[in-house]
Structure 1
Amino acid sequence: MSLTVRWTRLLMVVLAAGFAGAAYAIRATMDGPIEQYSGAALSAAIVYTLVIVIWPPISPLPAGSTAIAYCWFIEFAQLTPIPAALSQRSWFARQLLGAQFDLIDVAWYPVGVIPLVAAHWFIRGRTRSRTDPTPALTS
């Protein structure tokens, strides 16, 4: 495993912890729509970082699409009784699966992922431009 992959994974774990900390801090200090919407956006941001931990060389658009698709899958699974039953038995399951479907969350997951896709794209482009010099044009 290359040093770049290790640093990327470490950075993503730190970011995921930061997003989780922010979500819990908001939940502890606020109530209402800000808590609800930020929780959905930050949970999607956590999923994005986990996608990169699993597969560091992934491009921004597939990483973002995977994160959003996963979040939507979990949200729509809440239309079945399984997540709610698991969430009643386990705090950890409640954090991972939620308890009830909320259509507004479906709209907020991309809000948490799109800025990360943009940042990933920007950083990846700058990194590649430093390591892959443009070949000189020859006449």
Structure 2
Amino acid sequence: MTRLHTALVAIVIVICGLGVRALWDGPVAKYAGDALYTALIYALLVLLWPRIRPWTAGIAAAALSWMIEFAQLASIPRWLQPLLGSTFNPPDLLWYAVGAAMTAVAHAAYTRRG
């Protein structure tokens, strides 16, 4: 996957995240946002390391998302809260894993196709 393709995927993920927030409210938007947040982290990892294997990127993206979530148990600086959140929510951990797994499956299918 080229860096250009990966950058385009990252842009599409951001657009999807903004679209979900604009169209829905409540748990659908929140948990879809969690999955997309991890998908964006995944895309950024692939952007940095284009040869990373899909499952390695998936595990790393989920781990980074979980680290950020667990950091919310401590005090996140106020200026970072819009990006990283401020309240620990255990169901978020599941949706981060879902986002990482779905993105890894899509990436693996794309690389097998090519």
Asked whether the two chains share a fold, i.e. TM above 0.5, the reply is yes
Number of aligned positions between the proteins = 114
- CA deviation after TM superposition for structure 1 residue 126, in Å: 2.9
Q: Which amino acid is the alignment partner of residue 29 of structure 1? A: L
RMSD: 1.5
1:37 is aligned with what amino acid?
A: Y
Matches within 5 A, 1:22-61: 22-61=16-55
TM-score when normalising by structure 2? 0.90
Distance in 2 (CA, whole Å) between partners of 1:29 and 1:122 is 29
Check if 1:122 corresponds to 2:114: no
Q: Could you tell me how far 1:17 is from its partner in structure 2?
A: 1.5
Give the aligned partner of residue 92 of structure 2. Answer: 105
Q: Tell me, what secondary structure is at the counterpart of 1:79?
A: coil
The alignment's TM-score, normalised by the length of structure 1, stands at 0.75
Q: Which has the larger radius of gyration?
A: 1
Aligned to 1:10: 4
Q: Mark the runs of 5 or more structure 2 residues left unpaired by the alignment.
A: none
Q: Please give the alpha-carbon distance, in whole angstroms, between the structure 1 residues aligned to 2:45 and 2:25.
A: 29
Distance in 1 (alpha carbons) for counterparts of 2:12 and 2:113: 24
Q: Distance in 1 between matches of 2:56 and 2:106?
A: 14
Of 68, 71, 92, the match for 2:65: 71
State the identity as a percent.
38
Cα drift, residue 122 of structure 1: 1.9
